[in-house]
Amino acid sequence: MKKLVFGILGLAFFAACNNNPKGDKATTTDEVADTSTVNGDSYTVDPSSSSITWTGSKVTGSHNGTIAIQSGNIVLNDNKLSGGEFTIDMNSLVNKDLEGDAENKGNLEGHLKSEDFFATDKYPTSKFVITKVDHKSDNKVEVSGNLTMKDITKNITFNADIKQSTAETFVAAADFNINRKDWGVVYTGMQDDLISDEINFKVNLTANK
């Protein structure tokens, strides 16, 4: 019987590890100390035109929702991205796939904001600060930056698409995964319905002069 139980748990663990949400995994390293001066024109992030969509998965399925960008700025040098930062309002976290089930939607949102996950009462904001931009082509860049969540800072690197970059407006999009445990989000879920370590973020960012 014990062998059967451990076998089932092992299968659940394997399924959780192999059920990460779709998306390229960002490269994660220790925080990068960036003391360089970023030259260029500053553009103000427009929260109403920007969005972050999240997806988390588990053995039996997945959930998705949004988190709002609170504020930020982007720096362009000759209309090319060279720096910037933005702040994320963690208390704005909402679920979207359970909108027809108010009770379970509320329960999930409350759990995600609790100490098991993002502890939003204690850590109401997260922050991303660009430390390096590698221009691959006119409309594709590799972005590195320090992401701070729950007072833990790691440097992540991911690809982004430049949708628009003019004297008036900058628009970019990125789609990547991070391992939540790198930021101290270690809740595993139920033994027979383990939660994937990776979270997918789809970021759409608009900034105006």
Residue pLDDT, tens place only, 70-95? 999 999 999 999 999 999 999 999 99
Q: Is the pLDDT of residue 66 over 50?
A: yes
**pTM value > 0.95:** no
Domains of the chain (ranges plus CATH)? 2-208 (2.40.128.110)
Confidence of residue 192 (pLDDT cuts 50, 70, 90): low
Q: Give the tens place of pLDDT for each residue, 29-62.
A: 999 997 677 889 999 999 999 999 999 998 889 9
Q: Are 92 and 53 in contact (CB under 8 A)?
A: no
191 pLDDT band, cuts 50/70/90, is: low
Confidence of residue 6 (pLDDT cuts 50, 70, 90): very low
